[in-house]
Amino acid sequence: MATLAGIGMNISGGTRAAVPPHSSSSSSFILRRSHSYSSQTHRRRNTFISISENVPKQSRTRKCFSSISASSSDQQQQQQVRVRSKGGKFILRIEDTDLERSTKESEEAVLRDLSWLGLTWDEGPGAGGEYGPYRQSERNDLYKQYANKLLNSGQVYRCFCSNQELEQMKEIAKEKQLPPVYTGKWATATEEEVQEELAKGTPFTYRFRVPKEGSLKINDLIRGEVSWNLDTLGDFVVMRSNGQPVYNFCVTVDDATMAITHVIRYFKDHVELEQMKEIAKEKQLPPVYTGKWATATEEEVQEELEKGTPFTYRFRVPKEGSLKINDLIRGEVSWNLDTLGDFVVMRSNGQPVYNFCVTVDDATMAITHVIRAEEHLPNTLRQALIYKALGFPMPSFAHVSLILAPDRSKLSKRHGATSVGQYREMGFLPQAIVNYLALLGWSDGTNDEFFTLDQLVEKFSIDRVNKSGAIFDSTKLRWMNGLHLKALPTEELIKTIGEQWRSAGILNESEGLFIEDAYKLLEGGMNVITDAEKLMSDLLSYPFHDTLSSSEGRGILEDGLPAVAESLLAAYDSGELLAALEEGKSGWQKWVKAFGKSLKRKGKSLFMPLRVLLTGKLHGPDMGESIVLIYRAGTSGIVAPEVGFVTLEQRLKSLREVNWEAFSQAETATVAAH
């Protein structure tokens, strides 16, 4: 399966590593989202969902994921399919470390979208569970505990660099055409320097000490081994001085403590990473942070603390060597550590950064597998370093490909709808979206394309996930939705369509014989639920003059249309037509046969003029059933007045007022002009 990108959000997931036989441990999987996106009514931010397998404890898998665009819903369904196929549980975790953008409304919107898709959870807000609490804003004490553990071990240090100093480091690196690796003095500061700054009340962050050599590798379930050279990273912040951990630290701790075994996610780069990429692009080097505090003395640290200088906690990245992971999809992935530089794990206000949170979360939640988009690989490097520094077992990783637009660019809003809510409003069924997204980058090895969620759970295997990006085809999605629409029980579908007509303000009722007959007449043109609105509106409209103005309409006009109209009005005035329509379709069929015989017309020469005169159109669904419904709509009052419905009586009245001779002359003049 691929990841549908383009809404500015992060999604990730994780699975708890397998444990030895007879172990009491369990496994978990997480798919998480951390960046915001806009919809018509919400800004959604930092929401995360996990899945847990309810299988024997020695092999249980727990998985998490987050909210929810068309892209993330693809990953989320992949999580549920995979974990359900193992008899597992679905876990929800809310990642709300960005306090300014995380809102109750965004959380509720995510839960609503998930419920609509049928992606329910067994652990999380509202459901409870042994690994709670399930909101990162309620887990700060746990993050502080692990941040202090790293601080005491020397793998994290207090960084008192001001924002201005950090910007200066970036500018210097840019001028020297070097990666922006943190070069601050605080990585080597003495205890006296640190205590001096603390005494001053200088703001600080907890910065992760990245090894200055070697590499870090992870094994991505999709991409294989992913490796980073550690000297390109630089020490990074894991927690701010107010105790607020950053995202990566939170996620790591949460995944670990929640027994998450697999992480699947989509990632959109942070501003800092984007800046690093720009600089690296100019120099043709990987982005490295160059802050000065990595080598600061304790006296320098204490001096800044006493001043109250804001700081972050920056992770000390090894300056040489590499890091490797074995990706379950892509094989071995490797990074040279000299391309990273020390990175922040916590800001001076105590807010941990994303990678620190995620690592702690995944570890403390016992996540064994992390499945996420290929764009999330830069975060995987940082998280893998934190895993090693904290002594947590490394989960298995899988990085899936993006879902692409037809032109093979990244899918975005300019290509159409992107959020699940938008597709729901457009009339798509959740089971159709799940089915379609499942086939983007995955197959069961057959030519089958129609699957229920239960069938996907039964057949899914991650070794059949494609490394290449998949093309999102909206036309095929509509076709797929049509299959699922027709697979619904007829009674349920009629009720759904009737409610659609009523809620759209077309009809005053949503149930009854008229609704049933209208559905049966129009169902052939429905691929999504909202198609019913246009089909009903077309049925009730009467574009008679527009039709006759067309080239095909002029041909019918020349084929004796006025004479047919005169006979039709006579049948109406005599009551013959209305009596036939009262009997329904069978009455219409008897009448039209006799009507054609009286005019010595049959086939197209009979039915085409009648269709134009009674419906105002050249083409449409079965004419007899259409006219019966139009007649009943006019006598029952079921059509809302604001729709502009032209009743049968009004249509025939307008025919009486047509000056056929003038109309024919006007059409002749039009043809001559052309």
**pLDDT of amino acid 331:** 87
- Amino acid, single-letter form, for residue 28: S
Express each pLDDT in 474-496 by its tens digit: 899 999 999 999 999 999 999 99
Query: Is 244:347 a contact under the CB 8 Å cutoff?
Result: yes
Structure tokens at 247: 């995202």
Instruction: Give the burial class of 220: count Cβ atoms within 10 A of its Cβ; 0-12 exposed, 13-18 middle, 19 or more buried.
Output: buried
pLDDT-derived band at 365 (thresholds 50, 70, 90) equals: very high
Query: Is 137:99 a contact under the CB 8 Å cutoff?
Result: yes
**pLDDT of amino acid 312:** 82
Strand order in the sheet with 470-471: 3-4, 402-404, 470-471
- Amino acid, single-letter form, for residue 185: K
Q: Which fold has domain 488-540?
A: Helicase, Ruva Protein; domain 3 (1.10.8)
- Give the residue among 312, 295, 258, 311 at the shortest CA–CA distance from 121: 258
pLDDT-derived band at 90 (thresholds 50, 70, 90) equals: confident
Instruction: Give how far Cα 501 sits from Cα of 18, 282, 373, 477, Å.
Output: 52, 57, 39, 23
- Give the residue among 312, 346, 337 at the shortest CA–CA distance from 388: 337
> In the chain, what percentage of residues exceed pLDDT 70?
79
Query: Is 302:198 a contact under the CB 8 Å cutoff?
Result: yes
What single-letter DSSP state applies at residue 548? H
- Please state the separation of Cα 369 from the chain's center in Å: 21
Say yes or no to pLDDT of 533 above 60. yes
pLDDT-derived band at 237 (thresholds 50, 70, 90) equals: confident
- Give the residue among 60, 58, 71, 59 at the shortest CA–CA distance from 31: 71
Alpha-carbon gap, residue 235 to 637, rounded angstroms: 73
At what angle are helices 104-117 and 70-85 packed, to 10 degrees?
60
CA-based max dimension of the chain: 111
**pLDDT of amino acid 45:** 29
Structure tokens at 334: 């490797």
Alpha-carbon gap, residue 485 to 519, rounded angstroms: 12
Alpha-carbon gap, residue 171 to 254, rounded angstroms: 35
Query: Is 33:9 a contact under the CB 8 Å cutoff?
Result: yes
Is pLDDT larger for residue 65 or for residue 98?
Answer: 98
Alpha-carbon gap, residue 401 to 221, rounded angstroms: 11
End-to-end CA distance of the chain: 55
Say yes or no to pLDDT of 184 above 90. no
Is pLDDT larger for residue 538 or for residue 416?
Answer: 538
What single-letter DSSP state applies at residue 465? B
Query: Could you check whether the bond before residue 133 is cis, i.e. omega within 30 degrees of 0?
Result: yes
Task: Judge: domain 138-245+267-352, CATH 3.90.800.10.
Answer: yes
- Give the residue among 93, 92, 108, 95 at the shortest CA–CA distance from 43: 108
- Amino acid, single-letter form, for residue 135: R
- Give the residue among 292, 316, 172, 300 at the shortest CA–CA distance from 233: 316
Q: Look at 170-174, 417-421, 486-490 and tell me which has the smallest mean pLDDT.
A: 417-421
Instruction: Give the burial class of 415: count Cβ atoms within 10 A of its Cβ; 0-12 exposed, 13-18 middle, 19 or more buried.
Output: middle
Query: Is 383:32 a contact under the CB 8 Å cutoff?
Result: no
Say yes or no to pLDDT of 59 above 60. no
**pLDDT of amino acid 493:** 92
